[in-house]
Amino acid sequence: QEGQNFPLFWLERYLGKRGGLGGGFSVATVAFELAKLMGCEPVVLIGQDLSFPTGMTHAEGTAFCTKVNLNAPDFFKVPS
């Protein structure tokens, strides 16, 4: 299957087409969404730091480095 995303092709073969995964900002958020789509309940993530202390999505100088609008309605502060 040249030219196809092999992991996605493999998952579709065994799980069927279930729609797309949202990108999220990290591997953890994509893994969380995949687990939910696979019907896992509950899904527990331990030791994840999904904060944006510098306001950037990725390390400076990387291809995906962008500024996060922390005031957007889909972000919220979790007490620490």
18-77 residue pLDDT tens: 767 776 667 888 888 889 888 999 998 888 887 778 888 878 888 778 888 888 888 777
Instruction: Say if 58 falls within a structural domain.
Output: no
Tell me the C-alpha to C-alpha distance, in Å, between residue 30 and each of 37, 38, 79.
Answer: 11, 12, 24
In a domain, 70, yes or no: no
Residue 63 belongs to some domain of the structure: no
Q: Is residue 61 within 8 Å of residue 68, measured between CB atoms?
A: no
pTM comes to: 0.49
The total domain count for the chain is 1
DSSP calls for the chain:
-TTS-HHHHHHHHHH----PPP--SSHHHHHHHHHHHTT-SS----S-----TTSBSS-TTSTT--B--TTSTT------
Q: Which domain holds residue 25?
A: 8-38
> 41-58, pLDDT tens digit by residue?
999 888 888 777 888 887
